Amino acid sequence: MALSILIANETMVGANLREDFIRFALDTGVLRFGEFLTKAGRKTPYFFNAGLFNDGQSLGRLADFYAKTLLDAGTEFDMLFGPAYKGIPLVAAVAMALSNRGRNVPFAYNRKEIKDHGEGGSLIGAPLKGRVVIVDDVISAGTSVNESVNVIHAVSAKPVAVLIALDRMERSGKEGHLSPHSAVQEVQQTHRIPVLSIANLDDLLHYLSLEGNTSLSQYRPAVEAYRQHYGA
């Protein structure tokens, strides 16, 4: 009985974290509803722009969501890596949030172009070694993750997980040539590592159905229709 209660309590904590994150994203204007065009040319009824976490307070709170998600997952890791460019402020902030939670770990990030003076090279920060978690905002096509995995393997370190803010849970590819898998699923299958997200599209749909969210419930049919069409 005690174990059943513990599992139920852990599930509730996780659900609350996801709901709190979606509420936070809405309050900061990072998550919006309407009609938007994605990079893949899709018309989407919602848009998530992590670049709008652009002040100290919001970035600090975002980092704490990342840190809690990573620690709750139970993944064993030694350090963090942030791919340029969005991953750079994220990985630094998440490292600080982990430190505040009693887990002090090194971090590194890369630059797009190799520097031939000063410290040189393309990597900045702590030496890449051991078990590495890649920190990014979202996975759209998997390009950033693929490049990060190559960088990590090149120095004989081991990527053990990818940590992102939102999993859109939609199939990759273009209209008429959609993959049966999402970009997140493809990353997991290709590299055999888990992708940990603070929240996903199912969490968003659940949030839109909660009592008290009457002003948002109007968007649920459009988001549901998008999920039916593009969902992996």
Which candidate, 189, 173, 213, 222, places its Cα nearest to that of 23?
213
**Can 112 be counted among the known catalytic residues?**
no
* DSSP structure class, residue 102: T
Reading the block at residue 112, the tokens are 């797009």
First to last CA, the chain: 36
C-alpha distances out from residue 96 to 44, 59, 101, 208, 225, Å: 34, 11, 9, 32, 39
Is position 115 annotated as part of the catalytic site?
yes
Rounding to the nearest 10 degrees, give the CA dihedral for residues 223, 229, 230, 232: 100
**CA distance to 112, 205, 228, per residue, from 225 (Å):** 38, 11, 5
Which position among 117, 153, 177, 206 bears the catalytic label? 117
Catalytic residue among 43, 115, 174, 229: 115
- Three state DSSP letters for 199-226: EEHHHHHHHHHCCCCHHHHCCHHHHHHH
Give the active site residues. 115, 117
